[in-house]
C-alpha cells in the first residue's frame, strides 16, 4: 500500500462549520469548528448504539464497531450496508441471524469522548488473543511517523477538537482516520481493514488520543501488537497492555517518548539529538 492510501480531507463539505467569535483581545475571529452528529447503528433489525461522529465513513465505522464488540466475526457474510444521512442511521445486514439483546444489557460507558462503550464479554476474547512476539518497533520509525502524520493536512490541525488514528507499517502511514472520539477513528480503521483484507501482521497504530483501556482493548482485538500516541496513559490501559503483551508508547512528541509496556520490541536505531525540532504550529495545534 502507498503512503496515506486514505487521508483526511479537512476541506470536505459538512465536516466543519465556520463560526464567528472574539479572541482574548476582543478582536473578531472566524474559525472552522468540527461538526458532530448522532449516528444510530442497526445490525439487521436490532438497534445497537447511537454514536456521536463526523460521519465521513459510516460504513467502515459501523463494521469496525461491530467487529471490535464481537458482534461480527471475520467470516461473517455482509449482505448489505445502508446509510441514510438525513435520518442519521446506518444498517448492517448479515446472512446469519443475529440477536444481541442480552449482550446489550451488559455495557460499560468508557472514558472515550463521544460516548464509547465496551460490552462485558469483550474481555473474554481479549484474554485469549496472542500478539505477534516477533514484531519490532524501531525508534527511527517513531520519529518518522510523528513527522509525516503531524505534517499531513487534517481536521486535527485545521480545527482541533478531534482525534486521529493511523494504521502504519514500518515508517509508512497507510490509513489515517479522524473522528470526535478516538474509539470511532480506530473502529473506522478496523472496518477498512476487514473490507480490504488487510492483515494486522507487521502493523502499528499511531493515535493522537489518550491510551485508555478502550484503546488498548480495541488494538488487541484487532491483533495489532504496537500502539504509539502523542498523548498520555491511563493506569488501567497500561495494566491491560502488559497483560496482553502490547507495546505501548505514549507522549511521543519531537525527540521524546515513553514506553510503559512491551519495551522488548524497541530497537534503538536513531539518535534523538539528530531528530529535527517539531514545528511550533504542530506543537500548538496538537494541544487542542
pLDDT in the model for residue 278 = 74
Structural domain span for residue 214: 137-286
Domain end among 91, 120, 149 = 120
Q: How many domains does the chain have?
A: 2
Are 114 and 143 members of one domain?
no
267 and 180 in a common domain: yes
Judge whether residue 123 has pLDDT over 80. Answer: no
Quick check: is 25 in a domain?
no
Query: What CATH number did the domain enclosing 63 receive?
Result: 3.10.20.10
Sole residue written with cell 519531537:
254
Do residues 99 and 71 share a domain?
Answer: yes
pLDDT, tens digit, 9 for 90 and up, residues 172-183: 999 999 999 999
pLDDT score at 126: 86
Same domain, 173 and 212: yes
Q: How far apart are CA 191 and CA 196, in angstroms?
A: 9
Half-sphere exposure of 72 (CA within 13 A, CB side): 29
**Assigned domain for 12 exists:** no
Which positions ≥6 away from 287 have C-beta within 8 Å?
none
Of 220, 172, 116, 230, the closest CA to residue 1 belongs to 172
Same domain, 108 and 210: no
**Cα–Cα distance for residue pair 288/61, rounded to 1 Å:** 24
DSSP codes, 232-269: -B-HHHHHHHHHHT-EEEEEEETTEEEEEE-GGGEE--
Alpha-carbon distance of 245 to 226, in angstroms, equals: 9
Q: How far is CA 231 from the centre of its chain?
A: 13
| Residues 194 and 241 reside in one and the same domain | yes
Which of 64, 95, 120 is where one domain is finished?
Answer: 120
Domain end among 93, 120, 147:
120
Query: Above 80 in pLDDT, residue 134?
Result: yes
Amino acid at each position: 500500500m502507498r503512503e496515506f492510501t486514505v487521508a483526511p480531507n479537512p476541506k470536505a463539505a459538512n465536516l466543519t462549520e465556520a463560526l464567528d467569535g472574539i479572541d482574548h483581545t476582543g478582536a473578531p475571529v472566524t474559525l472552522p469548528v468540527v461538526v458532530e452528529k448522532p449516528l444510530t447503528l442497526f445490525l439487521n433489525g436490532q438497534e445497537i448504539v447511537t454514536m456521536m461522529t463526523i460521519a465521513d465513513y459510516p460504513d467502515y465505522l459501523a463494521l469496525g464497531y461491530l467487529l471490535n464488540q464481537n458482534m461480527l466475526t471475520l467470516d461473517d457474510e455482509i449482505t448489505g450496508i445502508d446509510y441514510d444521512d438525513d435520518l442519521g442511521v446506518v444498517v448492517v445486514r448479515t446472512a446469519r441471524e443475529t440477536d444481541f439483546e442480552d449482550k446489550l444489557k451488559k455495557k460499560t460507558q468508557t472514558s472515550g469522548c463521544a460516548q464509547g462503550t465496551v460490552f462485558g464479554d469483550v474481555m473474554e476474547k481479549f484474554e485469549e488473543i496472542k500478539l505477534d512476539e516477533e514484531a519490532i518497533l524501531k525508534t527511527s520509525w517513531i520519529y518518522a511517523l510523528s513527522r509525516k502524520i503531524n505534517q499531513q493536512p487534517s481536521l486535527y490541525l485545521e480545527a482541533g477538537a478531534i482525534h486521529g488514528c493511523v494504521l502504519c507499517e514500518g515508517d509508512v502511514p497507510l490509513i489515517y482516520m479522524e473522528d470526535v472520539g478516538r474509539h470511532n477513528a480506530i473502529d473506522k480503521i478496523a472496518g477498512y481493514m476487514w473490507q480490504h483484507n488487510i492483515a494486522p501482521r507487521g502493523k502499528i497504530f499511531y493515535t493522537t488520543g489518550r491510551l485508555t483501556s478502550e484503546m488498548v482493548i480495541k488494538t488487541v482485538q484487532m491483533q495489532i501488537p504496537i500502539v504509539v500516541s502523542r498523548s498520555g496513559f491511563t493506569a488501567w490501559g497500561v495494566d491491560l497492555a502488559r497483560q496482553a503483551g502490547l507495546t505501548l508508547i505514549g507522549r511521543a512528541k519531537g525527540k521524546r517518548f515513553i514506553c510503559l509496556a512491551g519495551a522488548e520490541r524497541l530497537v534503538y536505531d536513531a539518535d534523538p539529538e539528530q531528530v529535527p525540532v517539531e514545528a511550533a504550529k504542530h506543537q500548538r495545534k496538537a494541544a487542542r
